[in-house]
Amino acid sequence: MKKIGLLFVFLAGIGIFCASPLWAGDTCSEEVVTKTVEEAAAMLEAEGETALEKIGKIRFCDDNYLFVNDLKGKTLMHIKSHLIGKVLIGLKDDMGKRFFAEFTQTVKGNQASKNGTDYYNGSGWVKYRWPKPGEKAFSPKVSYVRGCLMGQTNVYVGAGYYE
């Protein structure tokens, strides 16, 4: 009887774990993206540059990922390693929207000070269009970005999903 009880607790735990929105494979929600980005920003503020590798391994809502850029649009961390070190501030979607520039403007919407260092810590959603993985056609996408201080460098963390 004890084994059956333990098996039930184990199976119930798996059910709760798999039902968690962080592991859902269907759709992603604003709440999940916001929570994940906010947690990553807190990691960068607490651990500095060493957190970049950890953040690069985070996946949520099936295969969504995080990215980190500085305020000049230079990519510091991305799932696509060939983008790291590239300045993407001028990148446009198929409608001409410079969404990386808008990410930066969104972050500059609020300013804070920490240990005598002023930095931007604004946050918000940016809508744009981008091809889904494996597709050439552009689709509506929305990303949430949050500014934070990584050591002495003002950066932002972001993640998005297709609408």
User: Does some domain include residue 97?
Assistant: yes
β-pairing verdict for 123-131 and 117-120? unpaired
Residue 135: give its domain's CATH number.
3.30.450.20
Q: Which two tokens stand for residue 140?
A: 């509506």
Q: Which two tokens stand for residue 5?
A: 């009880």
Question: pLDDT tens digits, residue range 68-87?
Answer: 999 999 999 999 999 999 99
User: Does some domain include residue 68?
Assistant: yes
Model's pTM, two decimal places?
0.82
Distances (CA, A) of 142 to 37, 89, 124, 132: 13, 17, 10, 12
**For the chain, what is the domain count?**
1
**pLDDT grade for 27, boundaries at 50, 70 and 90:** confident
Domain boundaries, position 135? 27-162
User: Does some domain include residue 13?
Assistant: no
Distances (CA, A) of 121 to 13, 95, 103, 155: 37, 28, 12, 9
